[in-house]
Amino acid sequence: MRASAFVYPWDVVGDPDAAARLAALGVRQATLASAYHSTRALTPRHPRHRVVTARHAAVLYPVDPARWRGRRLRPYAAGDWAPSDAYGEAAHALAGAGLDVHTWVVLAHNSRLGEEFPDTSVTNAYGDRYPWAPCIAQPGTREYLVDLAVEAAVRPGAAGTELESLGWYGFAHLHAHDKTAGVPLTDAGQYLMSLCFCPSCRDGYAHHGLDPDGAAAAVRRALEPVWRGEAPTGGWETVERLLGAEQAAATRAWRDSVARSLQSEAVEAVRAAAPEGFRVLLHADPVPYHAGANAGVDPGHVLGVADGVVVPCAAGPGLLAPFAAQASATSVLAANFTVVRGMGGSPATLGEDMARAAGAGATEARLYHAGLASDEDLSLVTKALAGRG
pLDDT range class, residue 185, cuts 50, 70, 90: confident
- Please write down the long-range contacts of 213-219, taking CB distance under 8 Å and 24 or more positions apart: 214/247, 215/125, 215/243, 215/247, 215/250, 215/251, 216/125, 217/125, 218/243, 218/244, 218/247, 219/124, 219/125, 219/192, 219/195, 219/243
pTM of the entire predicted model: 0.97
Residue type at position 248: A
Report how far residue 21's alpha carbon sits from residue 25's, in angstroms, rounded to the nearest whole number.
7
Query: Mind listing the pLDDT tens digit for each residue in 105-143?
Result: 999 999 999 999 999 999 999 999 999 999 999 999 999
> Percent of the chain at pLDDT above 90?
93
CATH class (in words) of the domain with range 2-178+258-385: alpha beta
pLDDT attached to residue 181: 65
Residue type at position 179: K
Q: Tell me the mean pLDDT in the region 70-90.
A: 98
Cα separation values, 387 from 115, 153, 172, Å: 48, 32, 37
pLDDT range class, residue 229, cuts 50, 70, 90: confident
Domain boundaries of the chain, sorted by first residue: 2-178+258-385
Query: Mind listing the pLDDT tens digit for each residue in 251-310?
Result: 999 999 999 999 999 999 999 999 999 999 999 999 999 999 999 999 999 999 999 999
pLDDT attached to residue 232: 74
pLDDT attached to residue 389: 44
Report how far residue 373's alpha carbon sits from residue 379's, in angstroms, rounded to the nearest whole number.
10
Report how far residue 5's alpha carbon sits from residue 31's, in angstroms, rounded to the nearest whole number.
6
Structural contact between residues 343 and 6, judged by C-beta atoms closer than 8 angstroms: no
pLDDT attached to residue 183: 72
pLDDT range class, residue 93, cuts 50, 70, 90: very high
Check whether 236 has a pLDDT greater than 70: yes
Nearest 5°: CA angle at 97, between 94 and 99? 65
Q: Tell me the mean pLDDT in the region 13-40.
A: 98
> Percent of the chain at pLDDT above 70?
97
pLDDT attached to residue 234: 82
